Amino acid sequence: MPGLAQSLGAAQQQRQTQETTLSLQARQRLRLLPLPLPELRAELRREAEQNPFLEYEEPLHGAVSLDGLAEREAESADESENLDYFNASLEGFGDQADPEVQAEAARRHDWLIETQTETETLYRHLERQVLRQMETGPRRDLVLLVCDALDADGYLREDAHTLLGDWWQANEGRPPEAFSETDVEAAIKTVQGLEPVGVGARSLAECLALQTRADPRHLPDRALYLRLCDRLGSLLTTSRERLARDLRCTPEELTGALAYLRSLNPFPGRAFAPSEPLESPEIVALREPDGRWRAVCDERRFPLFRVDEAAIEAARAAVRTRDERACVNTLVEQARLAANAYHERNDTLRLVAQTAFDRQTAFLDSGGDPATLRPLLQKEVAEAIGYDKSIVSRVVRDKAVRVATSRKLLPLAAFFTHAVASEGEEAISDQQAKGALKALVAAEDPAHPLSDQALAEALAKQGIPMARRTVAKYREQLGIASTRERRRTPPQGV
């Protein structure tokens, strides 16, 4: 029965072809999964250069024109309304029938991502306080001009006369209100009342004095501390005994005053210095109105990578031989496999991140405090989404998440932690155990530091039973010295 044999042979060949195609697509996806954004872009660009039926465009991050949308939204909508609109339109804004509605939804989508995930800066931190505390008008604008004049350390290096000139120049010589240097000084005082305390100071002495006056604690020697701020320059030219006499205090009181001033922050603006330890994140963690965290791919950071259907149609119309047709079909198949693998890679990343967010809500609520982590293994996430553990491992590698509310960057790998057995109903993560261990060492008597066994017993009383060798391992991972070394050198804020 040659017909049956032929049919069986054809079916077998078709099955082998399908298995080969699936295998190629699986290998393609596995190859793209672990790549961080810079390497992913380079790989996709290379594939597009080698295949005429693939279209590649660089991401448009930073090139979107908002056309004043941010200003209008800041005046007319609060954050919860923005989130409601965002959640309702993000997944389907490209399907709108009306082109104008579609374009407006796209612009709003870009604006929401930008305003919720922009890296925190000192100016933005101060600006939010000013907008919340002051009414719209020229005086508020003057205060914002002073905020903009601060350097990275939080100091104001320009005098009132220069700032007044900047004000006139910013308003093209026709300011809406005739301000004087006295008004500029008042604006500087307003800035000095903002958080972090100490910003807007013109000198180190003024910075420390601002923090001393704002200290909420009862300071019996506050007046001495302020007098010492005024005499900081004398520390290099005057003996301690002479300075103590000038300040009307004892040498011991002077030593205590110096210790207090050293505990203050001489550079209040540096906490907002830009730092990007990881490549710009692909995933943004957005909080929905019901408190749930949602994983969203920031599409602006992804390149456009798709099959060029017009090029395929033109190529098929131009083929003349069977070999040319076979070559075109091969390239078309490779292009579709590559495009599908790229989109599956991004969908898998979002799915893994969402599953991790659902289990680490407290971690996100805290802005990334390791002490709030629950035990979570990559294997658990893999089982929850029906993937192999190796898939999750590849997805997590070298990926970053930006938390919208705190604007912090967190490695996606930070959401996963091992469990430490406990006597309570809920297991404790190793990060929580390390935090408890660190707190015990910080609170111990430097003259009689706790041994690893004593630390294990203290942790057990807190419901964190650990073997002595586990305590020793965690102690070494935290960089905490042994009992003998801690006895020789008392811990300095371990």
pLDDT in tens, 290-337: 888 999 887 778 889 999 999 999 999 998 899 989 999 999 999 999
Q: For helices 37-50 and 2-32, what crossing angle results, to 10°? A: 140
Q: How deeply is 69 buried, as exposed, middle or buried, from its count of CB atoms within 10 A (0-12, 13-18, 19+)?
A: middle
**408 secondary structure, DSSP code:** E
Most confident of 14-18, 265-269, 458-462: 265-269
Confidence (pLDDT) at 16: 47
Nearest one of 409, 381, 466, 382 to 432, comparing CA atoms: 466
- The residue ranking higher by pLDDT, 232 or 430, is 232
Reported pTM? 0.49
Helices (H), 271-416: 309-318, 322-359, 361-365, 378-385, 389-396
- The residue ranking higher by pLDDT, 16 or 26, is 26
Q: Which amino acid, one-letter code, is at 187?
A: A
Q: How much of the chain, in percent, has pLDDT values that exceed 90?
A: 20
* Ramachandran angles phi, psi of 216, nearest 5°: -75, -10
| Residue 474 structure tokens | 């965690």
CA 350 – CA 233 distance, rounded (Å): 56
Of the CA atoms within 13 Å of residue 377, those in its CB half-sphere come to 10
| Residue 399 structure tokens | 């990926």
Confidence (pLDDT) at 313: 93
Q: How confident is the model at residue 199 (pLDDT cuts 50, 70, 90)?
A: very high
Q: What is the pLDDT of residues 155-191, one digit of tens each?
A: 998 888 888 887 777 666 555 567 888 999 999 999 9
Q: How confident is the model at residue 214 (pLDDT cuts 50, 70, 90)?
A: very high
Q: How confident is the model at residue 11 (pLDDT cuts 50, 70, 90)?
A: very low
Q: How confident is the model at residue 273 (pLDDT cuts 50, 70, 90)?
A: low
Give 150's strand partners: 156
**Tokens 């930008």, residue located:** 114
Confidence (pLDDT) at 98: 58
**482 secondary structure, DSSP code:** P
β-strands 419-420, 428-429: how paired? antiparallel
Indicate if the pLDDT at residue 32 is higher than 80.
Answer: yes
Confidence (pLDDT) at 212: 94
CA 464 – CA 436 distance, rounded (Å): 9
Rounded to the nearest integer, the mean pLDDT of the chain is 76
| Residue 85 structure tokens | 């609109």
Confidence (pLDDT) at 86: 33
- Mean pLDDT value across residues 110-124: 58
| Residue 191 structure tokens | 């800035």
Indicate if the pLDDT at residue 30 is higher than 90.
Answer: no
Which helix or strand (DSSP H or E) is residue 178 part of? none
Nearest one of 262, 241, 244 to 253, comparing CA atoms: 244
* Ramachandran angles phi, psi of 306, nearest 5°: -155, 170
- The residue ranking higher by pLDDT, 319 or 94, is 319
Q: Euclidean distance between the first and final Cα of the chain, in Å?
A: 83
Cα-trace Rg, the chain: 31
Integer CA distances (angstroms), 221 to 212, 226, 227, in order: 10, 9, 10
Q: What is the pLDDT of residues 352-385, one digit of tens each?
A: 999 999 988 888 887 777 778 888 888 888 888 8
Which helix or strand (DSSP H or E) is residue 285 part of? strand 283-287
Q: How confident is the model at residue 474 (pLDDT cuts 50, 70, 90)?
A: confident
Indicate if the pLDDT at residue 124 is higher than 50.
Answer: yes
Q: How much of the chain, in percent, has pLDDT values that exceed 70?
A: 74
Q: What angle do CA 154, 160, 164 make, to 5 degrees?
A: 110
CB of 195 closer than 8 Å to CB of 154:
no
Q: What is the pLDDT of residues 40-50, one digit of tens each?
A: 888 999 999 99
**Tokens 């496999």, residue located:** 337
Q: What is the pLDDT of residues 388-412, one digit of tens each?
A: 888 888 888 878 888 876 667 788 8
Q: How confident is the model at residue 431 (pLDDT cuts 50, 70, 90)?
A: low
